[in-house]
Structure 1
């Protein structure tokens, strides 16, 4: 986990305004929380199996529940927990269903693993965010996809784990602080907006199974249509003409002409392109995961 920082004290006003306080004199850089959240999510979506059981195993392997003990003072727990919940929910901006499922798995286990001695802090959601979560739940149930994540959301609803608010993030800065650090606060807001925008337009979205479904169907249909032409008289005639033009060989035997045709690029499997795209996305995930380690 990356909650520990290399520097003991913040070196810029930008870092000061980005601290999540865990005591009167100690704060954690919000970027460290964001990196921990990203690391967990990317570890999960880069795995070969992506069920809730797999996520639960990863959660315990990484000992992610230990993040609770970075803030042990009751008066700072609400702000600290909200920092984690909001960082996870920011990733729901992604249009990749697997990432959205991982977000729901995360907030479920984070909510569930809160030590009872401090009480459970609920998950702050705006009406717009809750509507987005519910639409994902409804669509998943109706289409029978991401069902585990949908059931997780339903369980959180049953527990009344969501707290409806006008603003998702807590604002506990005093007026004097807001005035003194107005510029760095504004810069942090702009950086956060850019981060969310990058989630919406993430390159992995183009490589996800859901996005590739239509392309895969078209590639399969095209490959099937091509295969029907491989052994037609027209294919043999075209191959004979091509051989005559390129090698000056006049071949008339259909079987040999078919064999020659099957070695050309026209006979290549069109679905291989999809495999290359998926392989590239896996390489991207692996590189991203290594960068976060």
Structure 2
């Protein structure tokens, strides 16, 4: 721990409070949180296993779904173990380096998930609006390159967040009023001017979400224009059904993201406990919800899951 003029340049550790104001209920809150984490890991691992082993699912839509499942496992695992340790064993201390690593994974893979949703929207657009050239436009090399671009974008936009935190001077207050190391929660503890940090953090969030949501909206506007021209009602319903899962998971992710983002900047009248609770659900609910939605709404995956259940019962 280095000290200059009474300011701590780099504290050895921070203290996570969990959900401020609800400390007495931590043990009860941990039950659904633990359930969501377990379901997220099991559900996404099942999705990954089915897509890997079933050759008929080796198509663009399912490759992107694999990316989403892998991202969800990493995202939920980046916060859940430490959060549950805090709730169960009062293990609220987190080393400065561990805090930076957790911050990196949270923001990097949140950005990655947003990018994957954009890629899935593009896939639905090509599949519905240009079905004959779907496999040509979204060939395996194109999918790999698109996935790498999404990951590289998230990496290079997140790395500066960590460097900005390392250059800050911190005072004696090491209490992070949050359940995990979020960027804005950590920068609030700094003694120095954090205008650059705040501007960069908000700019990155707005650019990523704005860019991805714009492409998603444009994709679905063009999809709707094409679908309403289909001659039969059955064809329109089939087209809508292929997009329903994607729309559900997108709404869940972005509604929670929007609430978390707005409360950071403008939600001064919202209780801190509600803010932290929603921010925690933002990292736990979509990873649990996504495999359930795709498992129920996607016939090929649903059939494979039911076949696995029947096989295990016979054994």
TM-score of the aligned structures, taking structure 2 as reference length: 0.29
Q: Point out the structure with max Rg over C-alpha.
A: 1
From the two aligned structures, give the one with the greater helix fraction.
Answer: 2
Higher relative contact order (CA 8 A, sep 6+): 2
